């Protein structure tokens, strides 16, 4: 990896159906303060050192009807494209577009657009760690006592939480490793729940970077109640950012 800040291209995933949120518009187009969730996520990614551009995946309706009104407010936008049927397919499509436009990026960063409150400081650490190891993700260690249940909701055992890390995004990978893990997933017909799982399956080291638990993914209607409390984080320099050892 070259000295200095590694250069990364961002894949911003916003093609989900948002069915659980039950709002009139998909959650990336909900507004916080004076911008949409999508704009906040894209703008904060562009503030990271080494950012070379962002490719966004969207559902077809949003791509043609909603996004054109926002495109002028997306810093570093390379392209907006229609996503696939699955997250993994959307990631692969976004990477194909990004690789054409930024052929010399050192790293690939994948982020869920519905996580606008991610920590800039923790993500910066993840970028540096991925450049060194191959991959890194932000998240936080489990705080609550963990129970294993059966299919009927009956508790079977209590699990140790000491090494349980709750994965979030951004997730960052060296370019060559990212290409290798996508190819391995395709060849082995693996459908992962996140990019880190694809990396793990391909034998790529992925490091866990502790980040504030305020990096929530807007998923359910109840999450919107937290937005007024979290909104100030969008304009501040990570006032809650610190290592979590819970």
| Residue 81 contacts residue 97 (beta carbons within 8 Å) | yes
What's the token pair of residue 33? 């303060």
| Sign of the alpha-carbon torsion through 118, 124, 129, 134 | positive
Tell if the pTM clears 0.85, that is, is over it: yes
Q: What is the pLDDT of residue 3?
A: 54
3-state secondary structure of 74: coil
Cα 230 off chain centre by? 18
Mean pLDDT of 111-139: 97
Domains of the chain: 8-235 (3.90.550.10)
Dist. CA 66–CA 238, nearest whole Å: 30
Please give the mean pLDDT across all residues of the chain.
92
Mean pLDDT of 214-241: 86
What's the token pair of residue 22? 């039950």
């Amino acid at each position: 990896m070259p000295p200095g800040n590694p250069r990364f291209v961002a894949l911003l995933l916003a093609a989900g159906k948002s069915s659980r949120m039950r709002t009139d518009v998909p959650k990336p187009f909900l507004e916080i303060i004076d911008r949409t969730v999508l704009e906040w996520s894209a703008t904060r990614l562009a503030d990271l050192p080494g950012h070379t551009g962002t490719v966004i995946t969207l559902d077809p309706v949003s791509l043609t009807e909603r996004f054109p009104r926002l495109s002028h407010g997306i810093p570093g936008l390379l392209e907006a494209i229609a996503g696939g049927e699955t997250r993994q397919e959307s990631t692969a499509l976004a990477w194909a577009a990004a690789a054409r436009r930024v052929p010399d990026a050192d790293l690939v960063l994948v982020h869920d657009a519905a996580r606008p409150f991610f920590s800039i400081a923790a993500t910066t650490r993840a970028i540096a760690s991925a450049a060194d190891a191959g991959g890194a993700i932000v998240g936080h260690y489990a705080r609550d006592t963990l129970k294993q249940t059966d299919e009927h909701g009956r508790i079977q055992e209590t699990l140790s939480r000491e090494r349980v890390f709750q994965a979030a995004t951004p997730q960052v990978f060296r370019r060559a490793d990212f290409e290798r893990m996508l190819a391995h997933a395709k060849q082995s017909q693996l459908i992962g729940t996140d990019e880190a799982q694809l990396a793990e399956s391909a034998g790529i080291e992925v490091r866990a970077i502790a980040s504030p638990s305020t990096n929530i993914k807007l998923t359910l209607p109840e999450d919107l109640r937290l937005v007024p409390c979290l909104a100030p984080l969008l304009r501040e320099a990570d006032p809650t950012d610190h290592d979590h050892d819970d």
